[in-house]
Amino acid sequence: MNKIVTISREFGSGGREVAKRLSDVLGVAYYDKEIIDHIAEKTNFAPEYVATVSEVPTMSSYPVTFGRTFASNVLSPSEAVQIAQRECIKELAEKEDCIIVGRCANSILADKAFKVFVYASDMDCRIDRCYNKVPADKEIPRKKMEKEILAVDKRRAKYQLAYADQKWGEMSNYDLCIDTSKFGVKKAVEIIAHAMKVYYE
Amino acid sequence: MNKIVTISREFGSGGREVAKRLSDVLGVAYYDKEIIDHIAEKTNFAPEYVATVSEVPTMSSYPVTFGRTFASNVLSPSEAVQIAQRECIKELAEKEDCIIVGRCANSILADKAFKVFVYASDMDCRIDRCYNKVPADKEIPRKKMEKEILAVDKRRAKYQLAYADQKWGEMSNYDLCIDTSKFGVKKAVEIIAHAMKVYYE
């Protein structure tokens, strides 16, 4: 069986960077936004459209209606993307050792994957990390940045509930949860890589 | 500064065993029920009494009344135990490298300790672990055992809220959270010990 790591993450925790570095350390493939192109190819939707719905909960996406709408029994475009995404994640996990970021992969591959949640308990760390990604001349007050960070987390939680029927960030849905405020990204990667080694021994 | 590990744990997750083994691996002191004797000595209460209130929330223990009751400005016995426990935990952390189990130590030593939460996402694992600790002739249905396990967790959560004003089991209150259903106790210890090494490097 392939070695699959799923990385779920709080916004601004450095989870994406953890995943990237981990893929370098382990020498395995890394899928985050790359999944969007796979889905675009599969569904014939434009990658730009896929990107807008790929991790976003929609009105019609709550568990009972997953797959088909009540009214028409026909897939809505965003539902088609979700289903393609789910299939794509399963195929990637079948194909090779890899790291998959977000997208309910921890639920889709629940029994197959090594499931990590990356968080940052210190909000200042998250805000600073986000500032590093916006142009220096774009002035955003820290309070506003914090609000935006929490809004992204809220969207992710809503998405996880909608498509995986899981509470996002609840530790029982993951094998290992790690605070980058405590360890920083580099040490977090070292710890996760070692935990994987120990697990597969 | 001393190296202090606090181990918070779900009931039946093997957290206590993790703490014990970790103390062997690291060669440092381990405090769980041992704290009770320290407190008994400090307060002159019988160890049996201390044990009954040491991790148990009481009516008068909610945050606003912590320390003294409204009515009399005099400490209730259980409040006296909580205060002695808090002092005892701080003293142990000042004295030597050690591992402290439960008792809100993650909050009392928030900035000083390496804070671990041990959980077991698989309820069957928790039930089996508890069965190993009851005499073979004592028949307890699995459903009843599950109920008792969840009741202990609930008490711990209430205690954490009362004395630390924290949500028990919320990952942001810990540095590393680890699922013994995934790793087992021995590997969990190996992972925590390595994470500590990496952190203090």
At residue B72 the predicted structure's pLDDT band, cuts being 50, 70 and 90, is low
Distance of alpha carbon B149 from alpha carbon A102, whole angstroms: 32
pLDDT score for B49: 84
ipTM value for the complex? 0.89
Instruction: Give which of B170, B174, B185, B192 to mutate to test A binding, by max A Cβ within 10 Å.
Output: B174
Contact yes or no for B54/B31 (Cβ under 8 A): no
**Per-range mean pLDDT, top range of A73-82, A102-111, A134-143, B27-36:** A102-111
Q: What are the DSSP calls for B182-201, one per residue?
A: HHHHHHHHHHHHHHHHHHH-
Residue of A177, A183, A187 with shortest CB distance to B171: A177
Instruction: Give which of B11, B126, B191, B201 to mutate to test A binding, by max A Cβ within 10 Å.
Output: B191
SS3 content of chain A, % helix, strand, coil (to 5): 55, 10, 30
pLDDT score for A35: 86
pTM of the entire structure?
0.90
Q: How far is A151 from chain B (nearest CA, A)?
A: 17
Q: List the single residue in B with minimal CA-CA distance to A201.
A: B187
Q: What are the DSSP calls for A49-67, one per residue?
A: HHHHHTT---GGGSGGGTT
Q: Is the predicted pLDDT of residue B57 greater than 80, yes or no?
A: no
Q: Is the predicted pLDDT of residue A61 greater than 70, yes or no?
A: no
Q: How far is A15 from chain B (nearest CA, A)?
A: 15
Residue of B171, B172, B179 with shortest CB distance to A175: B179
Q: DSSP 3-state assignment of A170?
A: coil
Residue of B171, B198, B199 with shortest CB distance to A171: B171
Q: How far is A185 from chain B (nearest CA, A)?
A: 12
At residue B162 the predicted structure's pLDDT band, cuts being 50, 70 and 90, is confident
User: Which residue bears the tokens 């009494």?
Assistant: B49
